[in-house]
Structure 1
């Protein structure tokens, strides 16, 4: 498989092909599948070929987001070491850190917290990684985020804060 991916990457980078968009889509699929599965050898092939590491799929997911969400610490580390941007947001504004916290991937979340992302980076609903940590009772991560400067009193669109969520206070939209 690695040879096949290398061969396709070489062909695509060297010349314009008929059906090039189909080949690019197929390559993108291999790239994202490798991240989901934690196939570092295939990821290395993409990295060595100069593939754009922060490429996003139709939902805005990057390989790093997928690796974090799917509990693939070696893939996360390899992508970060190669220069993948941990601050990239999917179409809903969620980051790899938010996905790792949601899934309970605490070691991956801790690794992502070592990157240069703003600890108060917000998704489309105004939620932060600390709010995810509070909501899902990831108290150790919440404390770590606080030490990194995360604002535990920042409010989302509904008035939820990480501190309130950690205490079980969840504000929901009012139905009419």
Structure 2
């Protein structure tokens, strides 16, 4: 079935953002790809560095909260692994999967336990993280690294069934 209604033209990228594009000329497909990849790298770096002021507005404008790097680490995984509890909370509030495993089957919670970030562990548990997800799981990491305080926190917020 076809529609006789006129379809709007897709928005054209701003050609002023490319050093190689002539004023008023559209970006080439390669230039567009380059800009998208640069933005994705910047967003992943923002998560790693805890720059929520730069990252969160992009997500609020429609950038994917489930974006992953080449190793399968999500924005939330990078924020958690690098100790940014406030950003972890904000990403979870925007729909980030707190149990999304990376390519090595590691969970954000296990990463936060490994690094010793109590505040990140708490933020993940508050957002519903499963302490048994991943290999090793958050609980396994507690035992392996001897993080008894974190173990108590896990049992308090997510007791075994």
Class of the TM-score when normalised by the shorter of the 2 chains? 0.7 to 0.9
Unaligned runs of 5+ in 1: 1-9, 152-176
1:48 shift after superposition? 1.9
Alignment root-mean-square deviation, CA: 2.3
Give TM-score, length-normalised by structure 1.
0.70
Within the candidate set 59, 68, 85, 2:97 is matched to 85
The structure with the largest alpha-carbon Rg is 2
Q: Aligned runs of 1:1-150 on 2, under 5 Å?
A: 11=13, 18-19=29-30, 20-123=32-135, 127-147=136-156, 148-150=158-160
Distance 1:93 1:135 in 2: 17
Checking the alignment, whether the CA contact within 8 Å between 1:133 and 1:139 is kept in structure 2 is yes
Q: Which residue of 2 aligns with 1:4?
A: none
5+ residue gaps, structure 2, are 1-11, 15-25
TM-score when scaled to structure 2?
0.76
Aligned length: 137
The 8 Å contact of residues 101 and 134 in structure 2, kept in 1 or not, is answered as no
Deviations 1:13-39 (A, max 9, x none): xx9951233222111111011111111
